[in-house]
Chains A and B, each alone.
Chain A
């Protein structure tokens, strides 16, 4: 997909500028967004997902601008899969219902085909036994796998993931990243905000470094990690490596 930002800015009510005139244009298949906390990564992803409007500037996806009014935004969001850091599953619905109900209500599947699709995905992600459990009965890793299943159930144009493993215990991180990688290999286009540098570097073609609301670096993920151009990225990567084994 082709992503384009023109002078994209976002300011919150308290006046702080979270995204500061970001310009960008490229054809993307898999992109990792990295950067320090509070750098504006989630804000950028929410704008891309049609969940938040920019204060100024424009975003184009495959040449068409992200709409401004709620009705068109709803249509836009339907075609995108979004995975949150945590708490994104509806807590009163079972794993199955979390996938099935949006398929029926939003995408007009029949009850039966929605259920079939949901069960197919749950089985694929190793959750067959857990389809009737509610989120509180699932581990963090299982919850995120359900969330991914829900996000891809209606075959979205692309997938946005906001730190899908940050709230997880380390042993669950792999099972979630494996799924994301598998989807990537099947041709799913995705943008992932992550602190898993190994995943960003090896599983994503491109990487972007977002810091203090500015897009400081962008390029092939290998190059970005091996040849950081800015002192900020160098420092950021250095900190991450400090306790590496």
Chain B
């Protein structure tokens, strides 16, 4: 019995032990929620999923689209700003550093309101999807800058000297040495960042982009099925983030030689 739940210092958990523990945790969670919900005398009613399935599907599609578009644009911004931080033009370097510092040092929700005001009012971008993608990309781009910058700096000088020694040109060094090592080093982290983007996109509901969180907010505002609505929302996000996280893990293992 003890063997099932407590690991010795050097032990690896056995399969039955793993299953038992997971089961225990699941039972605990279910009971906890059941008691909590019983206290406020709720009954479960997930019928809204069928009733609103078109809106839900649209919202889910919007979240997917927002995330993918933002991922691409933020990658683009990240590459530019990572390169800019190594620029020999000092003002460019300052600008990129300022960008990264400001974005990483302030909460997304503040940036959403600030940029939506600037982008929407001053630049006249009325399209909320476009504004959302821009704002989210600016935010995530700063984190991607850090990921790229870190691995660029950590490329071994010995590898670059070896590239010169075998006779590679600059272009060949980039193609055959720097890029593959950079990709191997950043791809797992970048994939992880995609999971963050998916989750962060929910905050765009604040400026009424009708993505999945906003859709659920609107639905629950009329049917008051708050628990079911947000529970279902959580499941939907997990459907997106779990595969992405898994992919990130697989990539990490695939590029194991980096460590």
Contact = CB atoms under 8 A, between A and B. Distances in A.
B169 interface: yes
Contact of B164 (A77, A91, A107): A77
Interface string B145-183: 000000000001011011111111100100011001100
A48 B180 CA distance: 29
Contact of B257 (A88, A134, A150): A134
A102 B158 contact: no
A49 B257 CA distance: 29
B181 A92 contact: yes
Contacts of B159: 87, 90-91
A78 B167 contact: yes
A101 B167 contact: no
A92 B164 contact: no
B181 A91 contact: yes
Given A90-B177, A92-B257, A101-B176, A74 B169 contact: yes
A163 B162 CA distance: 15
Interface residues of A, number: 25
A89 B181 CA distance: 13
A88 B165 contact: yes
A150 B158 CA distance: 16
Contacts of B158: 84, 86-88
B189 interface: no
A87 B156 CA distance: 9
A51 B257 contact: no
A89 B167 contact: no
Given A84-B162, A87-B158, A89-B162, A102 B257 contact: no
Choose among B162, B163, B167, B184 the residue with the greatest number of A CB atoms under 10 Å from its CB: B167
Contact of B168 (A84, A106, A150): A106
Which range holds the interface residue count of chain B?
20 to 34
B165 A77 contact: yes
A88 B172 contact: no
B257 A105 contact: no
A158 interface: no
A78 B180 CA distance: 22
A114 to B, nearest CB: 13
A93 to B, nearest CB: 8
A134 B180 CA distance: 14
Interface in A33-81: 49, 51, 74, 77-78, 80
A220 B172 CA distance: 41
A106 B162 contact: no
Contacts of B258: 91-92
A106 B165 CA distance: 11
B162 A90 contact: yes
Interface in A75-131: 77-78, 80, 82, 84, 86-92, 101-102, 105-107
Contacts of B172: 105-106
B162 A92 contact: no
Interface in A130-149: 134-137
Contacts of A106: 166-168, 172
A194 to B, nearest CB: 18
A99 to B, nearest CB: 10
Contact of A150 (B166, B177, B184): B166
Which of B168, B169, B180, B258: most chain A Cβ within 10 A?
Answer: B168
Contacts of A89: 162
B168 A102 contact: yes
A142 to B, nearest CB: 15
Contacts of B180: 92
A71 to B, nearest CB: 9
Contacts of A135: 257
Given A102-B168, A106-B172, A91 B257 contact: yes
A90 B162 CA distance: 8
Given A77-B166, A91-B159, 8 more contacts: A51-B164, A74-B167, A77-B167, A78-B167, A88-B158, A89-B162, A90-B159, A105-B172
4 shortest interchain CB distances as A-B pairs: A78-B167, A82-B165, A106-B167, A102-B166
Interface of A: 49, 51, 74, 77-78, 80, 82, 84, 86-92, 101-102, 105-107, 134-137, 150
7 contacts: A51-B164, A87-B156, A87-B159, A101-B176, A106-B166, A106-B172, A134-B257
